A and B are shown apart, each in its own frame.
Chain A
């Protein structure tokens, strides 16, 4: 029973772990370490592989938690992922396999849109300026690590298939 519960909760811990990893302050030789959007990448990969894994309530909880820690506007991330989840449900077809290149392009487009909305909302309500250089580096890193997360989560989603 406990073993089963632990096994089922691993994907949840996996996603939460990346929220923490993204925001833990890391300084390397007294310089800020710029990290990719790990939470966004992980949750996106999981939704496209197995959208049934996380219910919309769980997506709301994860994203609200992410926004609360991020200390910016709360709610934007959840809206984005709820839309992604809805689109994935709509497009889902058991007979057509997921193509990596298509997923990668869709990821780039969705992340670009997310960052534009998030940055502008933040610019007009929370901050006066934008760390454009940092955001761009994070974006490029996210795009670069996407294949890695894609393949890892593909294997994990098969193991923890809902």
Chain B
């Protein structure tokens, strides 16, 4: 009897049964507190090691941060001027601000790294207004997009997955093209003369496909003698916390 049940489950899995997929997501949502609890000691250990590692290089980090601060202060002054100018122009054209996106923080519940499908599961879902194709990122850059939704959890396809194709633009050379996942880096797609890209220049998202917010950092161009590829800034193992950008959530649009 148990063997028959197992065989039925295998058949349903292979046929990608939607009820089984919902059951998978619900199981993860249900187990979320246990995962968080069991992961706590290890996270504490990791944070402690990172803290001591940073402490060792504190002098160097402090020096580079002071330099960075000096540059940022100049940029803030420039930005303030642009903000004021922007505000005046908006008033002149009578344009009102609409908050069409908001950012929520989520926790990675499961990272099935053995499957090599480059997907992660996060603890936000339909109940948090998350929708299919909402983008997931961390402080370094884009991680991926939501591809499956449960009530309290979602499946995220990372940019490293071979099925992930993202419209991008290069910041310096202003070339528009697509990047496709390839394990640890990204391949270039639909681009003529890819060697025209500059080595080390930043690649950001565009809203060309309709579901990506523009100007989110993806990675930098790496040029070798016979190949050009993108090395992403963010990776899923940067942190167990990620951000989700939610577009056009009902409450804001009703207002």
**A contact residues vs B (CB 8 Å cutoff):** 17, 20-21, 23-34, 56-57, 59-60, 63-65, 67-76, 78-79, 82, 121-122, 125-131, 134-135, 138
Contact = CB atoms under 8 A, between A and B. Distances in A.
> Which are the 6 A-B pairs with shortest beta-carbon distances?
A131-B116, A75-B9, A75-B10, A25-B111, A75-B6, A24-B39
B6 A79 contact: yes
Interface centre among A24, A29, A65, A121 (most CB of B within 10 A): A24
Nearest to A60: B2
B79 interface: no
A30 B235 contact: yes
Given A25-B39, A29-B49, A73-B14, A128 B115 contact: no
Interface in B16-68: 20, 23-24, 27-28, 31, 34-35, 38-39, 42-43, 46, 49-50, 53
Nearest to A27: B237
Chain B interface, DSSP helix/strand/loop, else mixed: helix
Nearest to A68: B27
Given A27-B240, A75-B7, A121-B10, 18 more contacts: A20-B31, A20-B34, A25-B110, A26-B42, A29-B50, A29-B53, A33-B42, A60-B6, A65-B27, A69-B27, A69-B28, A69-B31, A71-B24, A79-B3, A79-B7, A82-B2, A82-B6, A125-B14
Contacts of B7: 75, 79
B112 A70 contact: yes
Interface residues of B, number: 49
Contacts of B183: 129
A49 B42 CA distance: 30
Given A68-B24, A82-B3, A20 B238 contact: no
Contacts of A125: 13-14
Given A75-B6, A127-B116, A131-B116, A28 B46 contact: yes
A69 B180 CA distance: 28
B109 interface: yes
Contact of A78 (B6, B49, B237): B6
Contacts of B119: 71
Most chain A beta-carbon contacts within 10 A, residue among B31, B43, B108: B31
Contacts of B24: 68, 71, 74
A23 B38 CA distance: 10
A126 B14 CA distance: 8
Contact of A71 (B49, B50, B115, B162): B115
Interface string B102-130: 00000011111111110111000000000
Interface string B221-255: 00000000000000101111000000000000000
Contacts of A122: 115
5 contacts: A20-B31, A27-B46, A34-B113, A70-B115, A126-B13
